[in-house]
Amino acid sequence: MHPMPQSQEAPNVIATVGEFFVSGGFMMWPILGCSVVVVGLAFERYLSMRKSLVLPRVVADAVIQISEGRSDVIAAGISEGQAPAARVLAAGLRRRGFPVADVERAMEDQLAKEGTHLRGNVRGIQLMAAVAPLCGLLGTVLGIATSFSAIEQSGGKNSELLAQGIGVALYTTIFGLMVAIPATLITAHLQGRVRRLLLAVDHVVSPAVEHLAARPLAHAAATTKDGSHAA
């Protein structure tokens, strides 16, 4: 009988990751910092961009109240609201009694501001997605330069130093891409989420525009029709 082959032990993942990190040199630390920033900002944005926080039910109820002519009842509560949708509706309430175009413009301007606020930390993730591979590239260039310097000092007798140095230097590029690719995907997903939330806010609050401007328009039409204030 042939002797049973001895089973090979599985590599220690923690040791492998640790050796990988150490082999990349000091430039691995800035890339690690980029990854921490990406995780922190992404976590914060996912918590802040929940639909229940951006577009709470109370805003939809307030729009119903406005459509029923009770905007005075909800004006104070909406003005104190902290949700982005509440601030958009409050901008329209502040222009109550103005022409439809003015009310609509005020709400659109506020909606644009809320979109900028929602995208704030997303830009930080996008920045880390650009910085991480650049740090990796810098580490690679520094590693190759170090390898050539070692070869020059040895008089070109040990070419293994060059191959070893290049291999170690490439670890920084690999790590940089490992951070940049997920960060880019997260950025795209969050940007899409912001667009969907803004569309949802616009869909809910836009019916209030005409009702906020309807009274003065209706009053002006009635006055003109009666001729009491006609020129």
Per residue of the chain (231 residues), give pLDDT as tens.
455 455 455 555 444 767 777 777 788 899 999 999 999 999 999 999 999 899 999 888 888 888 888 777 777 788 777 899 999 999 988 888 888 889 899 999 999 999 999 998 899 999 999 999 999 999 888 888 877 777 777 665 656 666 666 777 788 888 999 999 999 999 999 999 999 999 999 999 998 888 888 554 444 444 444 444 433
| Integer Cα distance of 46 and 66 in angstroms | 31
| Integer Cα distance of 104 and 91 in angstroms | 9
| Integer Cα distance of 115 and 117 in angstroms | 5
CB 88 within 8 A of CB 110: yes
Helical pair 13-23 and 160-205, crossing angle rounded to 10 deg: 100
Report how many domains make up the chain. Answer: 1
Domain membership flag for residue 54 = yes
Query: How far are the Cα atoms of 30, 123, 188 from residue 140, in angstroms, in the given order?
Result: 14, 26, 28
Domain membership flag for residue 159 = no
Domain membership flag for residue 143 = no
pTM: 0.77
Domain that holds residue 85: 28-130+180-214
Domain membership flag for residue 162 = no
Domain membership flag for residue 6 = no
Domain membership flag for residue 172 = no
Domain membership flag for residue 165 = no
Domain membership flag for residue 87 = yes
